Chains A and B, each alone.
Chain A
Amino acid sequence: MTQDRATLPQLLSKLAAIQLRFPGPKDKADAWKPALTAVSAKCQLIIQFTDTQIPLFKESNELYSAIAEARKRAIELRLLCRQTIRVKNPIALAKRLGDIRMGYSELGSNLSSICLLTEPSLAPTVELVLVTA
C-alpha cells in the first residue's frame, strides 16, 4: 500500500489537471461545443481511472477519499457538460459550476485533493486541478 500512496496521486494528477479556456462569445454555442465535448471526454477518463481503484482499497483512508472525491466531481462535471451541449446554454454551465465549487471540500493535508475553480466572467475558465501538497 505504501507504493500505492506514492504513485497513484501522480497518475491522478496527470489525468485530472485540466485547464480550459472557452473561446469565442458566450452566446455562440457552436464555439463552446468542442471544448465541452473535450472536457466531458477528460472527465470520462477520470471516472474510468478511479473506477479501477475502487476494488483496490478495502479500508477507508485519505487517498481513498481523494479518489472518491475525484470520481464524484468528474461524474457531475461530465453530466453538466453533456447537458449544456444539449441545451446549447453555456451560461447555465458557468452557474452550475459555481454550485459544484460550493460542494468542494478540502481533503487530506498531505495527500491529494481536487478543486474545481470557475471564473464565470466574460471569458470563463474551467479548471479541474489536482493539488498535491
Chain B
Amino acid sequence: MKLHLSTLEYAIWFSAALLHATLGVVITVRGVHRRLPFFATQIYFCLASNIVCYLLAQKASLLTYAFANFGSTIIVDALYGCFLWREVYLTTFGPRMFLPAWVPYRFFVYTSGLYAAVLVTGVLLPAPWLGSALAAMAFLTRSLLGIMAAVCIVLIFYSVRLGISWRRDTLILTAGLLFSTATELAAAYSRYFVSAEAVPVLRQISSFSYLVTLALWMWGVSTQRVESEAATPEMLRQIDGELDRSAESASAWISLREPHS
C-alpha cells in the first residue's frame, strides 16, 4: 500500500521529522534530557515513529499502518502523561508537603470535571464513532487528547490562582502541549460538523499546529538558561537583592520588624 497524501501533507510529515530530529539534538546537547527524561524520550520516540510509520505507509497494509500509528500514539500519550506528572506537576506545584492539603484534591476534581466534559461531548456527537476498529481507535485517541488538554489547562490556570510560579522552559513546554492538544481536539470534534471536502483541511490545521508547537519547544529549550541544581552564592545574592527592592516598595500598611527569637 502507498498512503495517498497531498504534497502539503507530506511536507508537514517531513517537517515534523526534521523538527523532531533537531529538537532531539538540542535537548541532548543542552542536557535537558537529564532534567526532563520523559519529555526527551517522547521526542526521541516521535522521531523513530515518524520514520517507521513512513516506511509502513509505503509498504504495508492500511490496517498495519493504522495499528502502528495508533500504538505509537498511545506510547507518546503515556510519555506525555509521565511528563505532566513528574516533570511539570511535581516541579511546579511541588510535593504534597509544599501545598495546603486541599490543593491536590481540588486539582484532581478540576481535571476530572474537565475530562468528563470531553467524554460527555464525545459520546453526544452524532457520528457512529464506535462502528469500526479505526473509529474506536480515533475515539480513544481523542479521549487521551482530552485528558492531556484538561491537565494542561488545570495546571496553568490553577497555578495562576494559587500564585505558584513556573520555570520558564516548563511553562513553554506545557503551553505548547496545551496548544497542540486543544487544536487537535477541536479539529477532531469539527470533523463531525463539516463536509467531507473540508476534512483534509482540518487534518492539515491539526498537523500544522503540532509543527508550531515543535517550533515553540525548540525556542524554549534552546534559549533556556542552564540552571544550577544547587543554590550558589551568586543566586542567593540575587535573591537577596530582589528582596531588598521589594521591601523598599512595600506598602505603607506593612511594617517589617525583627524576627522573634
**A→B interface (CB under 8 Å):** 1, 3-4, 7-8, 11, 13-15, 17-20, 23, 34-35, 37-39, 41-45, 47-56, 58, 65, 67-69, 71-72, 75-76, 78-79, 115, 129-133
Interface size class of B (residues with CB under 8 A): 35 or more
Whether the pair B97, A68 counts as a contact (CB closer than 8 A) is: yes
Q: Taking CB as reference atom, which chain A residue is nearest B238?
A: A52
Whether the pair B163, A17 counts as a contact (CB closer than 8 A) is: no
Q: Does B99 contact A (CB under 8 A)?
A: yes
Q: Does B100 contact A (CB under 8 A)?
A: yes
Instruction: List, in ascending order, chain A residues with CB within 8 A of B97's CB.
Output: 65, 68-69, 72
Q: Does B248 contact A (CB under 8 A)?
A: no
From residue 190 to 231 of chain B, which have CB atoms closer than 8 A to chain A? Answer: 227, 229-231
Which of B92, B230, B257 lies in contact with A17, CB distance below 8 A? B257
Whether the pair B259, A50 counts as a contact (CB closer than 8 A) is: no
Q: Does B105 contact A (CB under 8 A)?
A: no
Given A49-B239, A49-B243, A132-B261, A4:B100 Cβ within 8 A: no
CA of A115 to CA of B259 in the docked complex: distance in angstroms? 11
A contact patch SS = helix
CA of A42 to CA of B183 in the docked complex: distance in angstroms? 38
Instruction: List, in ascending order, chain A residues with CB within 8 A of B250's CB.
Output: 38, 41-42
Minimum Cβ distance to chain A for residue B36 (Å): 12
CA of A14 to CA of B233 in the docked complex: distance in angstroms? 17
Q: Does B164 contact A (CB under 8 A)?
A: yes
Whether the pair B247, A47 counts as a contact (CB closer than 8 A) is: no
Instruction: List, in ascending order, chain B residues with CB within 8 A of A20's CB.
Output: 253-255
Whether the pair A3, B233 counts as a contact (CB closer than 8 A) is: yes
Instruction: List, in ascending order, chain B residues with CB within 8 A of A44's CB.
Output: 163
CA of A133 to CA of B261 in the docked complex: distance in angstroms? 6
Whether the pair B243, A15 counts as a contact (CB closer than 8 A) is: yes
CA of A56 to CA of B243 in the docked complex: distance in angstroms? 19
Which of B103, B236, B253 lies in contact with A75, CB distance below 8 A? B103
Instruction: List, in ascending order, chain B residues with CB within 8 A of A53's CB.
Output: 231
CA of A63 to CA of B89 in the docked complex: distance in angstroms? 22
Whether the pair B239, A75 counts as a contact (CB closer than 8 A) is: no
B contact patch SS = loop
Q: Does B260 contact A (CB under 8 A)?
A: yes
Q: Can you add 5 more A-B contacts, CB < 8 Å, to A20-B254, A34-B253? A: A15-B243, A17-B259, A56-B229, A58-B229, A72-B100
**B→A interface (CB under 8 Å):** 91-92, 94-95, 97-100, 103, 161-165, 167, 227, 229-231, 233, 236, 239-240, 243, 246-247, 250-251, 253-261
Whether the pair A7, B259 counts as a contact (CB closer than 8 A) is: no
Q: Taking CB as reference atom, which chain A residue is nearest B99?
A: A72
Whether the pair A17, B256 counts as a contact (CB closer than 8 A) is: yes
Whether the pair A54, B91 counts as a contact (CB closer than 8 A) is: yes
Q: Taking CB as reference atom, which chain B residue is nearest A78?
A: B163
Instruction: List, in ascending order, chain B residues with CB within 8 A of A129's CB.
Output: 259-260
Q: Taking CB as reference atom, which chain B residue is nearest A44?
A: B163
Instruction: List, in ascending order, chain A residues with CB within 8 A of B254's CB.
Output: 18-20, 35, 38-39, 42
CB pairs A–B below 8 angstroms (20 shown): A3-B233, A7-B233, A14-B243, A14-B247, A18-B256, A19-B255, A19-B257, A20-B254, A34-B253, A35-B254, A38-B250, A38-B251, A48-B163, A49-B239, A50-B98, A56-B230, A56-B231, A71-B98, A79-B162, A133-B261
Instruction: List, in ascending order, chain B residues with CB within 8 A of A23's CB.
Output: 253
Minimum Cβ distance to chain A for residue B221 (Å): 17
Q: Taking CB as reference atom, which chain B residue is nearest A10?
A: B240
Instruction: List, in ascending order, chain B residues with CB within 8 A of A45's CB.
Output: 243, 246
Whether the pair B259, A76 counts as a contact (CB closer than 8 A) is: no
CA of A54 to CA of B259 in the docked complex: distance in angstroms? 24
Whether the pair B260, A131 counts as a contact (CB closer than 8 A) is: yes
